[in-house]
Amino acid sequence: MRRALNHSAMPAIGFIEPWSVKAGAGTNVHVSCVEPGASVRIVSIDRDVTEVFDWHVNRMRPAFSIRDYDLGSWIELPVADIQSSGDWSCSFEFLCSENKIDKPLLSAGSIGVWVDPAGCLTVRGVDTSYKLALVANERWYQLLILRSAGTTEFVVVSDRGVAIGTAVVGNTETGMPTTVLIGSDAAASTATFNGRIGRISTQSAGHVHSWRFPTKGLIGRLASAEDSNAVLTIHNLPTFSVASARFTGEIHDPRLDPSHFDAVHLHDDDFGGFEWSADLVVDVPPDARSGAFAVEISTSEGVERLPFFVRSAKPRSSLAFLVPTSTYLSYADERLPPLRYPWHGTDRGHRFAIDNDFLCLYDVHSDLSGVSLTSARRPKATLRDDYHYPLSNCPHLLPVDLQLLKFYARNGIEIDVLTDRDLHDDGVVSIAPYRGLMTGSHPEYWSTPMMKALDHYLDGGGNLAYLGGNGFYWVVAYEGQTMELRRVKSDIWTGRPGEAHMSITGEPGGNWEDRGLRHPQTYLGVTYLIMSFGPSRPYGRLEGSRDPAFAWLFAGVGDAPIGTKGTVLGGAAGYEIDAVIRCQGTPASLVRLASADGFDDSFQVRPDIWLADGDIERETLRRADMTIYRHSGGGQVFCTGSVAWIGALPEPDSENAVGRIMLNLAQGFSA
């Protein structure tokens, strides 16, 4: 369905590609804006006082405009072989999920097959309608279209191979189709079909073509098995590698038998990313510092900033901050519908997502299946330096991480910036020059290449500071600008049986601790345990922190509680927190330095975590642990175990224990 962006909540949005760019290179800015002549400038967002830069900005379009976009996925068949004088046939497998309004299953010229919310299929012409069959949701059927010299016959066949409905229409009503669409009407004026599509075949002019959807790789074009020139087009990123009509429940790995998963799931709110031309090209000077910046767009209705990140052409510091863009992308444009979630605050980014039916990886589609794909070519309306999470009414993600960059800049400590997507693409070479690597407040989503690069970094003697909570948790995969997640079992949404493997790589999805050899405690020292929006708590030092080996880290830190104030729910330990559990894989040299406890009853240990001592241990784990250990590669791994930690850094012209520890950490890791 084609629609124009609704800007009621935000006057300007857009995306920057790439949003991590090296100094000396350029990046494209794609904008939708209510004011054609809105002004633009490049600003810093990682300094206490905003800096304005005179970098060269090339105008690629004469004026801004309100942009259109496609919502919902569909399939377009090639029609080159269809001849008005010959016979033509088409068949495909389909499964309906929830469709709340009448939806197009097939569009072929002036005739189409529609399904209503009750599952009634009808053949619709310009002025006529024929009842075809009644189908049930979540069951596979086959639709056959048989066009002869005078008539076109539509047949629905059940999963048992029995014809359950037939309609015959004169060809004077149907005309000769110039396009054949599955899941969409030709005018793109109606919401697309919710459901699954399996094996497609056509026959015309003596030519037979068949298509089988792959189980690995996201594609937009698929050639037939018989002819590489007969290509169908798959629009707007449906979900690949889903259980097909051949799925029996006996095989849950597509790599063992792809035929069980050779289908795609179409949704009326699928979104493959904006296909816009660039409005601007920003040339980043070769001597630009590394950091977090924004394209600032000013209108009479408000100012919006589109963030992006600059890497140094060559490392300028011995420290690097790893921006968790995978987590940013996972949350971007989260809807949080107020009817489902009790908002404690408000944010225009969520209102924008609701107005435009955008979804993130925490949402479900309109048919209640989980959202497993997202594109970086999207608005990211909730990714801003002034963002407040409505469920907690406090900063989350980018604005929290910016507090660390501002703090270090304020104290004269230089730190290079790069993103976890850079780590995914470039591997360990992107971080090898740095003595110390620091994460953001919520580095939750990691791909296999990222994990392998981190392993090589630690094996090579690098130091790691995990400055967040619920980190290194979910498995993701990338293909181009698309990121994929399969949650499997989760209280966010649960995937369907057999669909735990990611279509991009074929590897198992879910969380890292269930993958084996990747339990976070084995390389971080702590494990994610608790999530709550209750009040954050301070840390208290433990005896381990008084060991002379850690005097460097606690220099200038007294015995008072650490982190009694903070922007994230009021303290240094909160929101999502990690602690040490009894685990055979725990690093032998691990030391608990500090711990936060006294959390209210809203903080409960997640029920899916396996504990060696069961409920006895569970009662002791309502805490956050700060830890450190010496890695076998020679470096040190320091963990704060809390999403709220960075938010407890001191404000300008003030000091506190959290700030002192972070200054000591920077100095120690730089040595």
Q: Tens of pLDDT along 622-655?
A: 999 999 999 999 999 999 999 999 999 999 999 9
Residue, of 262 and 337, whose pLDDT is higher:
262
pLDDT band at residue 82 under the 50/70/90 scheme? low
Q: Quick check: is 64 in a domain?
A: no
Q: What is the pLDDT of residue 85?
A: 52
pLDDT higher than 90, residue 284: yes
pLDDT in tens, 343-384: 888 899 999 999 999 999 999 999 999 999 999 999 999 999
The alpha carbon torsion through 117, 121, 124, 130 (nearest 10 deg) reads -130
Q: Provide the terminal-to-terminal Cα distance of the chain, rounded to the nearest Å.
A: 57
Q: Quick check: is 49 in a domain?
A: no
Task: List all residues 6 or more positions away from 357 whose beta carbon is below 8 Å from its beta carbon.
Answer: 71, 269
- Distance from C-alpha of 524 to C-alpha of 540, rounded to nearest angstrom: 20
- Distance from C-alpha of 154 to C-alpha of 562, rounded to nearest angstrom: 72
Q: What is the pLDDT of residue 172?
A: 66
Q: What is the pLDDT of residue 81?
A: 62
Hunting for tokens 């880290």 — which residue is that?
553
Q: To the nearest whole number, what is the mean pLDDT of the chain?
A: 94
Q: What is the pLDDT of residue 99?
A: 97
* Mean pLDDT, residues 474-491 taken together: 94
The tally of domains found in the chain comes to 2
Q: Is 304 helix (H, G, I), strand (E, B) or coil?
A: strand
Q: Is 399 helix (H, G, I), strand (E, B) or coil?
A: helix
Contact 174, 110 (CB under 8 A): yes
Q: Quick check: is 48 in a domain?
A: no
Query: Which conformational region is residue 338 in: left (phi greater than 0), alpha (psi within -120 to 50 degrees), or beta?
Result: alpha
Question: In this predicted structure, which of 72-81, 208-217, 387-396, 403-412 has the lowest mean pLDDT?
Answer: 72-81
Q: What is the pLDDT of residue 71?
A: 97
Count each helix (H run) and each strand (E run) in the chain, helices first.
10, 40
pLDDT band at residue 338 under the 50/70/90 scheme? confident
Q: Quick check: is 373 in a domain?
A: no
pLDDT band at residue 12 under the 50/70/90 scheme? very high
* Mean pLDDT, residues 438-445 taken together: 98
Q: Quick check: is 13 in a domain?
A: no
pLDDT in tens, 224-247: 999 999 999 999 999 999 999 999
* Mean pLDDT, residues 105-121 taken together: 94
Q: Quick check: is 145 in a domain?
A: yes
Q: What is the pLDDT of residue 127?
A: 79
pLDDT higher than 80, residue 449: yes
Q: Quick check: is 22 in a domain?
A: no
266, 301, 327 — which closes off a domain?
266
Q: What is the pLDDT of residue 490?
A: 87
pLDDT higher than 90, residue 109: no
- Distance from C-alpha of 625 to C-alpha of 629, rounded to nearest angstrom: 13
How many percent of the chain have pLDDT more than 90? 85
In 23-162, where do the E strands start and end?
26-33, 39-44, 52-53, 57-59, 68-70, 74-77, 88-96, 103-108, 111-115, 120-124, 129-134, 140-147, 151-157
- Distance from C-alpha of 243 to C-alpha of 264, rounded to nearest angstrom: 9
* Mean pLDDT, residues 528-551 taken together: 97
Closest by CA position to 186, among listed 99, 110, 114: 110
pLDDT higher than 70, residue 175: no
200, 232, 266 — which closes off a domain?
266
Residue, of 364 and 177, whose pLDDT is higher:
364
Q: Quick check: is 308 in a domain?
A: no
* Mean pLDDT, residues 561-580 taken together: 97
249, 266, 283 — which closes off a domain?
266
CATH number at 418 reads 3.40.50
Q: What is the pLDDT of residue 585?
A: 87
444, 593: one domain:
yes
Q: What is the pLDDT of residue 103?
A: 97
* Mean pLDDT, residues 642-669 taken together: 97
Cα angle: 141, vertex 145, 146; to 5 degrees:
135
Q: Is 122 helix (H, G, I), strand (E, B) or coil?
A: strand
598, 449: one domain:
yes
Q: What is the pLDDT of residue 151?
A: 86
**DSSP H helices in 604-649:** 614-618
pLDDT band at residue 80 under the 50/70/90 scheme? low
How many percent of the chain have pLDDT more than 70? 98
pLDDT higher than 80, residue 517: no
pTM of the model: 0.96
CATH number at 254 reads 2.60.120.200
Q: What is the pLDDT of residue 150?
A: 82
- Distance from C-alpha of 220 to C-alpha of 236, rounded to nearest angstrom: 8
> Which range has highest mean pLDDT (172-186, 297-311, 519-533)?
297-311
Domain hosting residue 241, numbered range: 74-266
